[in-house]
């Protein structure tokens, strides 16, 4: 358990705890993990089909926060339609279907290394993926 909650993972979680102010969001998504009660509210500002700013609010465990921190590092500069690819890439990496995250995803391979211990704990994958699961839930606000 100690290797799971290492300093680097908690630093990634801190990104999600330090919620930046988002002037005016254009899109919002709320997703829940009914198994453990985690909840993520994500907001985006999109201009000309490009995500220019993001924020996320997490009510959940440190793994959910770490996943949300990784999400915040990965979505700016992308289109809304690209978010599902990010989800799938991370899900495949967590499950062991792939050993590396595709460089074109925008997910920094160094940023996912603190999540390596989670790969062996299948029932915690959804916690890490919850922010990425907003991909298909965004609505205009």
Sequence spans of domains, the chain: 7-140
**What is the DSSP secondary structure assignment for residue 108, as one 8-state letter?**
-
Give per-residue pLDDT as tens, 70-99.
Answer: 999 999 999 999 999 999 999 999 999 998
**The CATH number of 7-140 is which of 3.20.10.10, 3.90.1010.10, 3.20.20.70, 3.60.20.10?**
3.90.1010.10
What is the per-residue pLDDT for 111? 84
Give per-residue pLDDT as tens, 3-29.
Answer: 556 888 898 899 998 877 777 899 999
Q: Is the pLDDT of residue 105 over 80?
A: no
**40 bridge partner residues:** 31, 58
Residue pair 77/106 in contact by the 8 Å Cβ criterion: yes
């Amino acid at each position: 358990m100690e290797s799971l909650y290492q300093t680097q993972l908690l630093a990634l979680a801190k990104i999600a705890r330090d919620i930046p102010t988002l002037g005016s969001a254009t899109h919002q998504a709320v997703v829940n993990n009914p198994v453990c009660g985690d909840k993520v509210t994500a907001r985006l500002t999109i201009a000309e089909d490009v995500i220019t700013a993001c924020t996320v609010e997490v009510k959940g465990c440190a793994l959910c926060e770490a996943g949300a921190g990784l999400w915040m590092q990965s979505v700016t500069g992308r289109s809304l339609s690209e978010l599902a690819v990010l989800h799938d890439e991370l899900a495949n990496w967590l499950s062991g279907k792939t050993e590396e995250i595709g460089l074109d995803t925008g997910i920094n391979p160094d940023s996912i290394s603190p999540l390596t211990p989670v790969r062996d704990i299948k029932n915690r994958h959804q916690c890490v993926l919850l922010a990425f699961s907003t991909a298909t839930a965004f609505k205009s606000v």
